[in-house]
Amino acid sequence: MSLSFFCKQRIVNKMIKMEKFKLDAFFLITMLILVTAVLTWVLPGGTYDRVEQDGRQVVVEGTYQTVDSDPQGVFDVLKSPIKGFEQTAEIIFFILIIGGFFSVLEKTGTIGIIIKNMALFFNAHETIKMFYIPVLMTLISLGGAILGLGEELIVLTPLIISISLVLGYDTIVGISISLVAAATGYSAGFLNPFNVGIAQGVAEIPLYSGIGYRLIVWIVFTGIAIFFTMRYAMKIQKNPELSLTAKMDKEKRKEIKILEKTDKVTLAHKLIMFAFGGALILLVWGIVKQGWYIQEIAALFLGLSFLTAVIYRMNPAETSSAFARGAASLVKISIFIAFARAIVIVAGDGKILDPILHGLVYVFSKFHPIVSSQFMFIAHSIISFFVVSSSGQAVLTIPILAPLSDLIGLSRQITVLAFQLGQGIIHIFIPTSPIVLAILGIGRVSLSDWFSWCWKLVLILTITAMLLLIPPYFMGW
């Protein structure tokens, strides 16, 4: 399909809007640093005693005492983001390496070619065509759950929409296969480095621990997303006029030539997928058996980047260019993480972090721990409108919520789960998400039309998430 088919100017306009949202997020986080600094001059200082327990610092209940605050001046504020980079350097390098790997993988075209060939297979076999949606949504959801698949889908969305139209569905189905599957997989991630990985690291609990229950959550979430999409897809197959994009799709189908010819899956593509699968197995083994942490996982993906380039016979210049391009795409997120950490640093250095924690303990102690976890879920959903980055939000909120959970009888594991579910579900439709705007722009679907289609799904997932926060408490998870 030609690029003009997706309306270049509309995509450009969407991208301009995305940049404004990003700038707003940085402005907000900078204002929060300044507000926190002002509070160090206003609030009384305080501190809790802490002890090391199971390799993490735990607040000792009942040890809060007031101390003199340490007001933070202009120079302290200016130094705080630098300290933030220092304290989150490992996380930032990890994110940049993941971005570099995805860019190298994208340059090989492996994922797009496999999706296209899979579509040809389903199109040629009428009896199994209905499995196209659940199979592809499961694969994309897995990508979100394991690798934090997000921005990469912007490249694949035109292909997925085109294939969906050829198979008799509509643009909404194509967007759902891409956006909904990734968002549900991301929020229910069990090996996702960008939410659960970073949040567990900040919370000082074993990396990717609790994977069993998270797998259950992922299965439930992915099942709901597939059922909702399939139900709509079957309805418009019977009556295409019920589609929200029926008129536009008629024009789109005239220009589609996506399945007239397809690229062959070469030996290199097969070897790349084999290497990728082997790396995931090695990742699980390293985490479970060897206690791998961020450095080891980052090293694995760095090595996989080089191996992918060798298999595809990319020369050094192509490899370094692709890797640098992928890393560069995540530089803004990395800066955001450092600035988010700066808020905690200013509050901690000013000795007002524990007074804030003490106040939250007073409020949350009035509720059952389960209700508190659900409040955390709701709070993260609201924060996501302003802090889109899951990594940035984890660095911003978990340093406060992790010790809070210790004091109100809630496990840090449940606190991390409330964070990832609350932060993730809302990314199906929030207008401040660059991914949402880009994908809707590519499909030429308005935000209002998309919301009218997905709001019931978001509500179902929200209720399900709040219910899924209950069993872990009784399981002692």
392 pLDDT band, cuts 50/70/90, is confident
Instruction: DSSP letter for 243, please.
Output: S
User: Which of these, 359, 357, 366, 356, lies nearest to 402 by C-alpha position?
Assistant: 357
d(CA 329, CA 322): 11
CB neighbours (10 Å) of residue 360? 17
pTM value surpassing 0.85? no
Res 8: pLDDT: 39
Per-residue pLDDT reduced to its tens digit, 195-246: 898 899 889 898 888 999 999 999 999 999 999 999 999 999 888 888 888 8
Q: Which of 88-97, 148-157, 259-268 has the highest mean pLDDT?
A: 88-97
CB 296 within 8 Å of CB 208: no
Query: Which of 25-39, 262-276, 358-372, 412-426 has the highest average model confidence (pLDDT)?
Result: 412-426
Segments of 22-93 assigned E as strands: 45-47, 50-53, 56-59, 65-67
What is the per-residue pLDDT across 274-301, written as a single tens digit (0 to 9) for each?
998 898 889 888 877 887 878 898 899 9
Question: Which pLDDT score, from 0 to 100, does residue 262 have?
Answer: 62
* Residue (of 213, 126, 226, 144) closest to 185 by Cα position: 144
Higher pLDDT, 94 or 257: 94
Mean of per-residue pLDDT scores for the chain: 86
Query: Which tops the pLDDT comparison, 18 or 294?
Result: 294
Give residue 111's pLDDT: 77
Pick from 136, 143, 133: nearest CA to 190: 143
**pLDDT score for 138:** 95
The answer, yes or no, to whether residue 23 has pLDDT greater than 50, is: no
CB 362 within 8 A of CB 135: no
Angle between helices 331-349 and 89-108 (to 10 degrees): 170
| Residues 443 and 161 sit within 8 Å (Cβ to Cβ) | yes
From the list 221, 218, 210, 200, the residue with the least C-alpha distance to 145 is 218
Q: Is 90 exceeded by the pLDDT of residue 358?
A: no
Beta strands 50-53 and 56-59: pairing type?
Answer: antiparallel
Position 337 scores a pLDDT of 83
CA distances from 285 to 12, 47, 282, 290, 427 (A): 43, 40, 5, 7, 31
**How far apart are the C-alpha atoms of 353 and 346, rounded to whole Å?**
9
Distance CA 468, CA 121 (A): 37
**What does the block give as tokens for 73?**
């001046």
Contact status, residue 88 vs residue 340, Cβ threshold 8 Å:
no
**From 195-204, 316-325, 381-390, the region with the lowest mean pLDDT:** 381-390
Residue-level pLDDT at 3: 38
Residue type, 94: F
pLDDT tier, 115 (very low <50, low <70, confident <90, very high otherwise): confident
Where residue 94 falls among pLDDT bands split at 50, 70, 90?
A: confident
Query: How is residue 177 annotated by DSSP?
Result: I
